[in-house]
Structure 1
Amino acid sequence: MAGVTDQVDQLGRRARRSPWSERALRVGMVAYGVVHLTIAWLGIELALGDHSGAASRNGALRQLAQQPLGRIVVWVVAVGMFLLVAYKLLEAVVDAGAEDGAKEVVAPVTDVGKAIVYGTLGVSAVHVAVGSGSRTRTTDYTATLMDQPYGRWLVGAVGVAIIGYGGYLCHRGWSEKFLEHLDPRGRSGRTGTAYRWFGKLGHLAKGVAIAVVGVLFVYAAIDHRAKRSGGLDRALHTVLHQPFGPVLLFAISVGIGCYGLFCFARARHVST
């Protein structure tokens, strides 16, 4: 059994270092960056008073689809996301054999979690690309979950998990752990300094936005009202209605745009 595990681990490592794996990561990161830049633009428009677009992943995809050759771009995003799914699942196999102690479990679970996030975005991109009218909202999922046994506790647990992930992103941004994704050239010189700031501001802003989403889930669990939950668009609207809301929303949106630029930096300076 140990021999089979070692063989799988070796195959995973070879595949991860292959040129095709690197290309998949590059294409996926460019696609992910485009989505974040579009979300940032919609958030900035919202901060400036334009409420016509939804500052969310689905809203960004619909916005892209409305541009010239937009559906082609959305198809590219879909392909990029599915490539990232394959890459993260491959990383999960490699990390399962490479890490020790608690990381032996945490690292693969994190990889699979990211693969799910990329996969859902890829599926959404396919729906938008083919013109599907399906727009299932986060509140619909929350209501379904709320109706299950111990539903309120489940929704609350989801909220706490989302808050935790937001905090994790903020920690990576503040500690600059994200630099491990860049090769030495991507961390040096003036360009490296710019990438560092893109990553720092991007992770902090995205972490704050995601944490707000988690807070909305927790409120929904406390009040037993699914309508209090919501995705990124609802979270940004919540920020907008706080004191100095437009200024805060503008800053967060710019930060999300920085995250998108950092995705481009990862695509250019892949560290495998």
Structure 2
Amino acid sequence: MAGLTRFHFGRNTLERLARFGYGARGAVYCVVGALAVLAAIGRGGQAGDSKSALRTVLGGPFGAWIVGLIALGLFGFALWRLIEGVTDADNRGSGLKGLVVRAAHVGSAAIYSGLAVTAASLALGLGRHRGSQDGMQDWTAWLLSKPLGLWLVGLIGLGVMGGGIAFLLKAWKGDVTERLALDAAACRWAKPIGRFGYAARGIAFLLIGGFFVAAAWHQASSEVKGLAGAFAALRAQPYGWVLLALVAAGHFAFGAFGLIQARFRRIDAPDLDKADDAVARVVRSVT
């Protein structure tokens, strides 16, 4: 193996990527929330999803550069979520609850990888003008056309709703700051922000999951809607602008809490160099 140059990708590098990722995700949801609040109170803005928010940022000063940096951060966040789920970096354990959380992290890695690709495409001028809702309806239609597809779409919906319930429980119990390196005084102001944010995400997940269940029940992919659809459903209710404003403000709080996580979250990144050394030893033993 002499002469082989190895890229050093250790614990500190992974921690920096994770923190950059939390910051990028936080920035996206701050924009999502701010735009939706403005839409709710009739001051312009758009009650859309994260991809709509990226397009809005793209249209601003230095938009392509900012969206490009967000794309890098989201790739870092997706990588951290994947490693977090596979290696159990947060010591969730191998019990049922721990495995569910770790599986959710792996699913989150896939979702944010897709968002990172979208952001990178937009930054490079390659982004399509179709909304994310169209894409969701396309793959839902494909899935519904397959054997047992109806049941799979329904299970996806129930899984998303389960995630919403988990967010709401986290907000209710108030343990949102348990993995932050903050003293009691700082937690007193960070905790309400996090609880408000998780509650808003929980409501959105319940609505989005409900759309999937409705799609399965009616066997119609047109029933599927994303965050923009959830905002629209809230707006359509009596005093809907108040409901939309509250949930939108909660998404801004979720984004702000992501920025707090970027600075203060405890990140127990695994030492990937050890795994790299093990692989190198195996390679040497067979060559």
Q: Please state which band the TM-score falls in when normalised by the shorter chain.
A: 0.7 to 0.9
Aligned to 1:32: 25
Which of 258, 262, 266 pairs up with 2:253? 258
The superposition leaves residues 157-210 of structure 1 with CA deviations (integer Å, 9 ceiling, x where unpaired) of 111111111111111111123212311xx2421x32121011000000011011
Aligned to 1:236: 231
Give the Å deviation of 1:133. 4.2
Opposite residue 118 of structure 1, the aligned amino acid is Y
Q: 1:96 to 1:65 in 2, by over 3 A?
A: closer
Aligned to 1:92: 85
Q: Given that residues 97 and 104 in structure 1 are in contact (C-alpha distance below 8 angstroms), is that contact kept between their aligned partners in structure 2?
A: no
Q: Given that residues 86 and 106 in structure 2 are in contact (C-alpha distance below 8 angstroms), is that contact kept between their aligned partners in structure 1?
A: no
User: 2 CA distance for matches of 1:239 and 1:107?
Assistant: 28
Partner secondary structure for residue 225 of structure 2: coil
Aligned to 2:95: 101
- 2:198 is the counterpart of 1:200: no
Aligned to 2:4: none
Aligned to 2:176: 178
User: 1 CA distance for matches of 2:173 and 2:183?
Assistant: 15
Q: Given that residues 154 and 213 in structure 2 are in contact (C-alpha distance below 8 angstroms), is that contact kept between their aligned partners in structure 1?
A: yes
Any stretches of 5+ residues in structure 2 without a counterpart? 1-8, 268-287
Give the Å deviation of 1:105. 3.2
The superposition leaves residues 33-62 of structure 1 with CA deviations (integer Å, 9 ceiling, x where unpaired) of 110011102211321246773510110110
Q: Given that residues 96 and 105 in structure 1 are in contact (C-alpha distance below 8 angstroms), is that contact kept between their aligned partners in structure 2?
A: no
- 2:144 is the counterpart of 1:146: yes
Q: 1:147 to 1:52 in 2, by over 3 A?
A: farther
Q: Given that residues 231 and 244 in structure 2 are in contact (C-alpha distance below 8 angstroms), is that contact kept between their aligned partners in structure 1?
A: yes
Any stretches of 5+ residues in structure 1 without a counterpart? 1-13
Q: 1:255 to 1:187 in 2, by over 3 A?
A: farther
User: 1 CA distance for matches of 2:39 and 2:219?
Assistant: 29
Identify which range, 49-58 or 206-215, moves more after superposition: 49-58
User: 1 CA distance for matches of 2:158 and 2:191?
Assistant: 29
TM-score of the superposition, structure 1-length normalised?
0.86
Partner secondary structure for residue 216 of structure 1: helix
Q: Given that residues 180 and 271 in structure 1 are in contact (C-alpha distance below 8 angstroms), is that contact kept between their aligned partners in structure 2?
A: no
The superposition leaves residues 197-243 of structure 1 with CA deviations (integer Å, 9 ceiling, x where unpaired) of 11000000011011101111111211222111111001110110011
Q: Given that residues 26 and 258 in structure 2 are in contact (C-alpha distance below 8 angstroms), is that contact kept between their aligned partners in structure 1?
A: yes
Partner secondary structure for residue 257 of structure 1: helix
Aligned to 2:166: 168
Partner secondary structure for residue 179 of structure 1: coil
Which has more radius of gyration? Answer: 2
TM-score of the superposition, structure 2-length normalised?
0.82
The superposition leaves residues 117-138 of structure 1 with CA deviations (integer Å, 9 ceiling, x where unpaired) of 2211111111221222422522
Q: 1:133 to 1:123 in 2, by over 3 A?
A: closer
Q: 1:235 to 1:51 in 2, by over 3 A?
A: farther
Aligned to 2:156: 158
Which of 109, 118, 121 pairs up with 2:115? 121
Opposite residue 260 of structure 2, the aligned amino acid is A
User: 2 CA distance for matches of 1:81 and 1:130?
Assistant: 16
Aligned to 2:184: 188
